Each structure stands twice: as structure tokens, then as C-alpha cells.
Structure 1
Amino acid sequence: MAVLEPVPAPARLTQPHAAVKAMQSHSQPMGVAKAVQARALRLVQALVLATQRHGHVSKIGPTHGAPQKHRRRSAAPHFTITTQGQTCDFLVLQEQERTDHTASEKELAEAKRYSWVTIPRFDYSPADRLRIILSGGQPHRASEWADTAARSLEDQLAEIVQEVGLRGEAAERKRLADLEAARQQRLRWEASMKQTKIDYQASGCRPGAYVTCAITVLAIRQNVRQTSVTSVEFASRHRP
């Protein structure tokens, strides 16, 4: 694997990107705790500036706070980066610490009194660790990056930038392939229409049977379920 050029995260936000500046205007940007807000914004700043140097465009997304727990990975993005027509959605999430729950006397009493009361097994509290989730486009190397004991997110920014570029390149390849497929389909259609007219003229079909004969020959030749040209249109375009 090629060595990636490091993407440095700024020590301070002196000239924030427009998307980052819009995030700063909210009371709790991306829904992360105050203790990690500045770092989260610096990580976003590093990503948008690095991808901007490659010609990509970044915008703030519709989600401003923390997504609901059941939609942590599928919520609308905090910000987007668009490359070669492919929009990549980003969420920045604060990890949670899980500890064993110690039941209170009140919880024990309610659980004893009511059969439907369930005492939780764990307690959750915000951690200092962050996670970045990318969605949209064709995944290549990864879709999530998180702080770990071995590597911080700062050390993984280059991989995220690379993934954005790879998804943009894949989108461009697909766009060009779709254009070529459409061109080839159009050429086949035009050739079939031309040959069908020749076959009709040589077939000796009765004038009244022109439409049925021509459409039948065309359908057999193309081996398609249906055509986009009606019998009336076909007859009006190709009647000798």
C-alpha cells in the first residue's frame, strides 16, 4: 500500500471553513460534549481543507446535534464532501463509556413491586474518544474510523481523505460506463430500426399488415420485452 501524505489537524481554528464556521454557530456542535468540541471541529477543518485541495466541495449537513441512538450510523450528515459528482456524508460521533449499573434502592423496590420494571445492566457516559462515519458511494477501504489506544483520529485523517477520493473516482468511472452503455444501446436501436425497415420492404407484407410485421421483426431482432416506440409512432416514422 502506498504511503499516504499526512493530513495535519490545526492546533487552533483561526480561519475556519464555511462549514466549520456554521457548526460553531450551534450551541453544541455535532452533539458532542464541550470537552471534545474544539477537537471535533479541528478534525472536520482538517478534512475539508485537505479534500478542498483536491477540488472537492464541502458543505454543512442538516444534522446539527447528536443523532438518535437507533440512527447513529444512518442519520443525516453533519457535513458533506462532494467529489466528481459523488456526495460523501459524514457524521462525527462521541463514543460512550460503558460501566456496570448498580441498582438503587428505588429501582429494586419498583422492580419488586411491578413485574414490568427492568433494571438496566449498564450505565453509559460520554468518553473523550470520537468516531467518524462516512456513507455514500462505493466503499473501498473503510467507512468508519475511531480513536483507539493505538491510533488517534488525527493519525487516520489521510486514510479518510483517500477514501473520499476513491469513492469519487469510482463514481466517475460508473458515470462514464453508463454514458457508453447508453450510447451503445442507442446505436443498436437505430441499427435495428433501419434493418427492420429493410426487412419489411423485402418481406412482401401486405400494406395493412405493416405495423404488425415490422414490430414483430423488431422485437425478435432486439430480443427485448418491450419497445419505447408504439406501433403508431413506428408506422408514422417508417411508412415507405
Structure 2
Amino acid sequence: MPTARLLPDYLVRRYHGWKATTYEDNKGWYRHLAEDGQHPRCMVISCCDSRVHVTSIFGADQGEFFIHRNIANLVPPHTPDGHHHGTSAAVEYAIKALKISQLIVLGHSGCGGVQGCYDMCSGRAPELEEESSFVGRWMDILRPSFEDLPEGEDAERVRLLEQNSVVTSMRNLMTFPYVKDAMDSERLSLHGLWVDISSGDLLQFHPETRNFTTV
């Protein structure tokens, strides 16, 4: 078994800076969170991309958002097959245990996972077609949306596929019985968002028009 190494100095310095400032100034709040547990009203499913900083976008503090991140902010269909399902487990916990009232799927521009799906489906990324590729098999969730893309420039089609990743996840969320039940009883609302990293623009999905428009 490989031996773990100690944190690099720059991360140690950042931690001590946080402990001496942010934590020290809000010590009571952190203790409250520890003692009272978490009671977030909102779950956000977003991409692993380091440029997508969910709490910064919404100015959220600790304890406000229950956040799950994965490649391309995808949610698979409800499949209780006994295998490991990290995303599905997070959704189940958010709905059943935390009883969140808002569920957001957040996509973004320049998504490497979506680009990989686009390249794979275009025959440009044979390595992702390999059965051993975790990324490729994960992006199979989005593959049907590629087939529905209109003709056009690659950049525009990739942007549409990024937004389709949000819609695909929302559609798949509705296959979870407890998500559907919570929405039918109006205990839960579902939201689809896409953020442009360069401009900072945030777009939301309108179910009536099936389009994304600026918030």
C-alpha cells in the first residue's frame, strides 16, 4: 500500500490563515453547525470542474448548501441494481434524510466531460469508448442527447450539449420515486442552471419554452 505524504507547505499555510481569521471570527457559528447538525434547504449537483465555485456564485455560507459534484453534473437514471451509486446515494440522502426543498442542477461552459462526450460520439476519442474508461461509461448517460443535436458549428453544438447535460439530469431525477413524490406534493422544486465561466452570466431552464435564458 502506498504511503501517504504530509500536506505541502502552501496548503498548511492557507489552513492556518483560515483558522486564525475566518474560523476565529465565526467560532460560535461553526460550533453551532457541529452541535445542531446540518439543515440545508438546497442541494446543488454540479461539475467537479475547479472553476465552478458554487458557494461563491450564490454567496452561500457553511451549512446552506448540500453539494454533490461529479463529471459533467450528471445524474443517472434510478437503477437499484446493488452496485455503487455515489450520485444516487447523495440524492437519496438529500431528499429522505435532509428533506431539502430546492434541488439545483448546475452546468457550465467549457466542461471537459461534455467535450469528451462530444468527441467520443464524434469518433474523435476512441480511448473513451474503451469499456475500461470510467469517464467514457459515465458520459454514456449523455450520449442520447448528442444524437439530438442540430447541425452547426462544433462550439455551438458543445454548448448545447452542456445545457442538455442539465436537462438530462433533471429528467433522470424524475425517475427517482422519492424525488417525484416530493415534487408532486410540492415539497421540492427542481431547477436547471448553466453558468458561463468567462462572462459570469447565469442562465436558467424554462420548462415551458425548453430554453435557457439569463437570470
**TM norm. shorter chain > 0.5:** no
TM-score (norm 2): 0.21
Larger Rg: 1
TM-score (norm 1): 0.20
Higher relative contact order (CA 8 A, sep 6+): 2
